[in-house]
Structure formats: structure tokens, C-alpha cells
Amino acid sequence: MQTAFIIDAIRSPSGRIKPGGAFTELHPTELLSQVLQQLIQRNGIDPGEVGDVITGCVSQSGEQSATPGRVAWLAAGFPEHVPATTIDRKCGSSQQAIAFGAQGIMAGVHDIVIACGVESMSRVPMGSARMDRNPFGPSYTTRYGAQISQGAAAERVAAKWGLTREDLDRYAARSHQLAAQAAGSGHFAREIVPIRTAAGTVDRDETIRADSNAEKLGQLKPSFADDRLRERFPEIEDWRVTAGNSSQMVDGAAAVLLVSERMAARLGLKPRARFVAFDVRGDDPMMMLTAPIASSRAVLAKAGLDAGQVDAFEINEAFASVPLAWRKELQVDIERLNPRGGAIALGHPLGASGARLTTTLLNHLESQGLRYGLQSMCEAGGMANSMIIERL
């Protein structure tokens, strides 16, 4: 079995979806194609040798409906014979793309795979693929009742694990402060690639609020409380999830270059990390955001490691309650959890977020001389995928 290596991992800056945001006028094809171009160029590989381009994208409608990885590859001017496919495992889509790409290399099917993701949430809003239709059907509804929003699920998680509004706001402020420190220290320089737009070149995240603090966040009103939900979930006495302690919707793209051991040797490429273990599993869809707990435990068991042996964790900050509940269960030091901030500060471009986490995690391990990193993503429908990488 071939070993699959990470050779490089890059991302675009995070662009706000509000009018005037960095990428609101940029077609998602152009956003991803520029990331792909820079991944190929900075590693000096022949694009014609890429075996597959596996792309995460959640809202596959409108401008993201034509197999976005394939379109972006061709828009970048790369060879037509290289194929692409699109993965939708909701927020974990590009993380799943990485897993599938690595597994394809391990199986001997490919020697070079690009796993990537894109989401233009300003141009293709979240939920637009539903076309105002019910995607669940009568049998699912009979089993679970009316589907709840992710925000309501975040409230349920906070209530179950006894997380206060102050806990959530302090954690959210921490995310911005850590991200601001990382940006100010140049720690994002290796992972962010500049993106050209009609207005100029964008080379930094738009989403970090360095002046964020728990007191300011505490002034925001809960986003998901209404009479219907209060009646449905009486266990939630205090509604506490706000826009400030939730991830930001953004435009973004990320890409990871995966190469087999034999191809790395042939091309003289220096591996930056290897894959230790993968896991994917489901949990209660009405809690929705709790599967990273079980999945992280499972991937640690597969790797033969315990949490104390892992140097850094990237647990996606879809909502502050997600990593905080996860931490209560895994008993991990806060310093090892999302050490450069997370989606609350850096944004959550759905299909690109898994590859973004890998990019940030890898660069953190390298800059600090650390060995093992674990990342996990909560996903709609009550799923999660997790993986452990080892820096080389």
C-alpha cells in the first residue's frame, strides 16, 4: 500500500458576503481556479499528471452547479484529460475530498490528487440548492419530526453541556484574538494565496475583528429564539446563540496537494505530513452538531493514540457550543484547541472549510515544531468526519 503525503495546502483569504465584500463580484469558478493555479505553480508539478481533482461544495446550484472543480480546472488553463468530481458531505465536504484523495493514493489508483473546496456564499446562498422544496420526505419526518435548524441544534448542545452565554461569548472573542495574533505575526502568510479581483488583489482575511471582546458580544441578541422553538424545546431556558458566537458566512476556496510516496520521490517533492487515521460517522440528527465527539474518539482509537498525545486540534467553530462541548468530553487543554482561531473569526465557507482547517492545522504544526494534529467537522444531518495527520 502506498503512503499518501500532503505536499502543500493553501487557501484564499476569507471574504465577507456583505455588499462590498472581497469576492462578492468574483464568480466561484474564478476564485477556485486561482487557488488551483497557485497550488500547481508553487510546487512545480505538471498538471497533466494529476489523477483527479476532488472538490467539496455544498450549494451545488446556480453558479456552482456545473461540477465546480472541473470547471475551475479548465478555467485555470489546465489539461482537459484530467477529471474532477464534486463531494457533498455538507460542512465536511472538502475534508471528505482529502480523505477520498488520500485513500485513492493508498489504494494505488492515483499518484497525484488535488483535494479542494469552494463556496461562494454571497453568490450562491446557503440552502439555495433546495429550491424552496422539502428535501426530507415523509418517512424521515415521521421518524424525527420537523427538521431543526443548525442554530437551534447549537442551542440544544449548549443546554445539554451546561454552556452559558458568557462561555460562548468568551470563546468567540478568543477566536478573534487568536486569529488576529496569528495574522499580525505573519503565521497565515504561508497558507493564504492572493486572489485577483476587479478591485485589486486580496491577500488577507476580511473577517477578523481584533477588538472583539466578550462584553461587546454580550450585547447581541440571540439569533434563533422564537415562540415555536421555545415550545418545542422547553429544556432550553436561556437562548444564547448569537451571530457573534457563531461562524461567519464567507466566500472562500482551499486546496491540498496529495502525492504518493513513489511520486514524491520521483519528482523530488518534500512531504510535509502523512495521514495517520480517518473516521466518519453519524449521530443524532436532531442534536446535529455532536458527532465530532464520537468521531474524534474513534479516530484516536484507530490511530492508537490518546488525546494527550495530539499536539493541536481543529474542531470547526460552526458555533461556539460545538468545540466547547467537544472539549468537555475529550478533556483537552484549551491551548491546543483551534490555536489560530477558527470559523468564528476566519469564516466558514461550507464546502471549502475542511481543506481550510487542514491548511491552518498543518502550518501551525510546522511553525511550532509539533507532531500530531486532529481535525473534525460537524455536518448537517448529524454527521462528522475526522482525521489525524503527522507532520514530517
Q: Are 251 and 34 in contact (CB under 8 A)?
A: no
Is 328 within a domain?
Answer: yes
Is 149 within a domain?
Answer: no
pLDDT for 147: 85
User: 250-260 and 4-11 as β-strands: parallel, antiparallel, unpaired?
Assistant: antiparallel
Confidence bin at 231 (pLDDT 50/70/90): confident
pLDDT for 381: 94
Backbone angles phi, psi at 24, to 5 degrees: -65, -25
pTM for the full predicted model:
0.97
Report the C-alpha gap between 388 and 53 in whole angstroms. Answer: 22
Is 25 within a domain?
Answer: no
User: What range defines the domain where residue 376 resides?
Assistant: 275-387
Encode pLDDT of 161-192 as tens digits: 999 999 999 999 999 999 999 999 999 999 99
pLDDT at 225 over 90: no
CATH no. for residue 312? 3.40.47.10
Active site amino acids:
91, 348, 378
Is 188 within a domain?
Answer: no
Alpha-carbon Rg for the chain, nearest whole angstrom, is 20
Name the H helices within the chain: 28-43, 68-75, 93-106, 137-144, 150-160, 165-184, 214-217, 227-232, 261-267, 291-303, 321-330, 343-346, 353-368
pLDDT at 227 over 80: no
Confidence bin at 18 (pLDDT 50/70/90): confident
Domain count for the chain:
1
Is 111 within a domain?
Answer: no
Is 33 within a domain?
Answer: no
pLDDT at 284 over 90: yes
Is 288 within a domain?
Answer: yes
Is 45 within a domain?
Answer: no
Instruction: Write out the three cell numbers for 74.
Output: 479548465
